[in-house]
A and B are shown apart, each in its own frame.
Chain A
Amino acid sequence: MTEPIATELLDREVAVFTRYLIGTTASAYICACYRDGHSTIPYRGLGTTTKFDPMLLTIARTGQAGVRLADAYARWFLPSGVLRQKLVLLLAILENAPTSSAATTRATLGSRTAVLAKICGATASGVAAIVAGLLILGPLHLVTTLVMPKHPSLDTHD
């Protein structure tokens, strides 16, 4: 795969994933860190990918809804997979980069009632994302696993 396409895809990922995680635009520094860190991401060295990983990644790159759905599904059904590895790498970068650290690491302040209400809302939303992921991606995962004859290479995707 040629390097410019890989870079373009990685930049697309970091843009979508950063907005997904903390709701802001990724700085040039964050993009550079993600490209550099991505070269050491475990799945590339270990080759521990499944047939469904590329499809999940493609869905995640489409935008906020896609990455939320794919991430919620992956947390339960591909917890150590490619998408989760990429998101965890980016989270590690965001928590340490100067422009995104506060947004990532700050505690939620307020009355206990208000914060508990936020917790309940976030949990309900998270559970809904898992259910939606299961309904939409579960069958795709099953079909991909059973039908696809060949393990597609991630090289064509990143």
Chain B
Amino acid sequence: MVGSGASGVHFALTALQRGHQVLLLDVGYERPKVPLPDATFDGLKSGLDDPVRYFLGTQWDGVTYPKGGEGSFYQHPPSKSYVFHRPATFPVSSDAINPHFTFARGGFAEAWTAGVYPFTDDDLAAFPFGYEELRPHYLEVARRIGIAAEHDDLAQFMPFDAEYLPPLDLDSHSRHLLGVYARKRMQLHQRLGFFLGRSRVATLSVAYGGRKECSSLGRCLWGCPHDAIYRPSVTLAECATYPGFTYRPGVMVKRFDYDVGGNVTGFEAASIDGKGTERHEADVFVLAAGGLPTSKIYLESLRAKTGHVGSLPGLMDNRQIHIPFLTPAMIGRDAPSSSYQFHHLAFGMPQANPAHYVHGQITTLKAAGIHPIVQSIPLDLRTSLRLFQAFRAGLGVANINLHDSRRSDSHVTLQPDSTSGLSRLILRYASDPAEAHLIDSSIATVKRALRSMGSFVPPGMTRILPKGWSVHYTGTLPMQEAEAEHTCRPNGRVNGFLNLYVADGAAFPFLPAKNLTFTLMANAVRIAEAIP
């Protein structure tokens, strides 16, 4: 199999538990050593020899310069740059989407914010199975990774039936918002269709599975030194305890070979350091490299065999919108950085079509870099800094996620280069014409809900992020009941192949607004359990 992300490691662990031998091929860039693991966020600044280079990077890529109102208010820090490093041997061009790639050990979930929300039957309407079929696999993943959650108003949008851990301690701003919501919830439900609750997060509120609970160091964004925030490398380490498991990092799978009967005979992988290629044979082959790399391996394999460059329609990604807000009631209070930094609260907004449910999370980051926010205040930097300090305890960001659906004009293909021998991955994305209305209505509803809860949204600071930001690339090899070219069977087997499976997001036929990683993991377990 290829890929050590959230899908890959859970597929591998299940296959190992069922007695299979697993060879996992991976580029596998490693997480750098975490400095001063017991230091708090502020303690790092006083304890490190060169804190500025740690927080801003030796190449200074952690500095967010003025861009004229574009982009996010926060970005991944230099300590996570290994997650997003793309080898030069993986060229890409894109149109109307700004994709990110990961070749890290553990994949994108090495840098996620740990939101885990099971899909409902409405979310899964386009899938060839429903919630009941996925449920035991959600339970298994929840048991493996540990999820802190609470039963609340969001349970109507996401089943609450796994063995969850107690919720994390709330920060003071999130506690205030939840308190106001409790007093106004009927009004918010009836007038706005806005429902608030606790985020469900793969972050430990108590020690679990050999991992320590969150100790409120405030280093979430830079990488939890104690793995209280789950990351796939934890499961990869568990896989390594099985004698039937072999991890082969440092290689990039280029393509698979297959015979005329559709029997895949081997993976061809190139050494990432340019020292040649290697071939691996097996009985069953599994693609779990992530939606876009999996698509490339598939297209490259067909091209090598047939000489024809194919195209995979249906590329999807969630639209994300950031709405910064201020809660005046928090002004004058402290904003300690020693707390869990990612979202404590989540919200849901049902739509006329249940599959178009809008999902969001509220982050009250206290330990993120401040210069991206301060520079966006429309006054001189000194005054802006004073205002930021005065507002600090009341600042938050509502992050809205919208669904996406498969369309023929959003597709993935290749552009072969006979000179270099490297095919370029080509992405073309066209937004759903109906999305503009959903963007407008979602922003309006969230702003009204925040106002109802006593918060204020500064004009002109809402950011509709470019497609590609959410890194939820899915839909290019969808699972479906009907047999068709470039699709998968409900069990993940690729149509036209006897022993090739897709276990990642490429096989999703629809992309709900909820964070997809929990379902990626559960689906990978489901597919692994069905492997003969």
Contacts and interface: CB of A to CB of B under 8 A. Distances in A.
Interface of A: 20-22, 29, 33, 36-37, 40-42, 68, 71-72, 75-76, 79-80, 84-85, 87-89, 91-93, 95-98, 101-102, 104-112, 114-116, 118-119, 122-123, 125-127, 129-130
B379 A127 contact: yes
A119 B55 contact: no
B18 interface: no
10 contacts: A75-B379, A88-B63, A92-B63, A96-B51, A97-B51, A105-B337, A107-B333, A107-B390, A123-B379, A123-B383
B175 to A, nearest CB: 16
Interface string B30-55: 00000000000010011000011111
Nearest to B390: A108
A85 B65 contact: yes
B378 interface: yes
A91 B376 CA distance: 13
Contacts of A114: 332
A33 to B, nearest CB: 5
Contacts of A97: 45, 51-52
Contact of A91 (B328, B371, B378, B383): B371
Contact of A84 (B53, B375, B387, B391): B375
B67 interface: yes
A79 B67 CA distance: 8
A107 B389 contact: yes
Given A93-B52, A97-B52, A123-B387, A68 B382 contact: yes
B369 A95 contact: yes
A110 B51 CA distance: 30
A92 B337 CA distance: 17
A33 B65 contact: no
A128 B59 CA distance: 37
Contacts of B386: 108, 118, 122
B477 interface: no
Contacts of B382: 20-21, 68, 71
| Interface of B: prevailing SS | helix
Nearest to B60: A40
B374 interface: yes
A116 B387 CA distance: 10
Contacts of B439: none
Given A80-B65, A84-B66, A109-B334, A75 B381 contact: yes
Contacts of B393: 107
B370 A95 contact: yes
A3 B45 CA distance: 30
Nearest to A88: B375
B334 A96 contact: no
Contact of A89 (B54, B63, B387): B63
B392 interface: yes
A41 B66 CA distance: 11
B369 A92 contact: yes
> 7 closest A-B pairs (Cβ-Cβ)?
A126-B383, A126-B379, A107-B392, A72-B380, A71-B380, A107-B335, A96-B55
Contacts of B64: 88, 92
B355 to A, nearest CB: 41
A104 B370 contact: yes
Contacts of B390: 107-108, 115, 118-119, 122
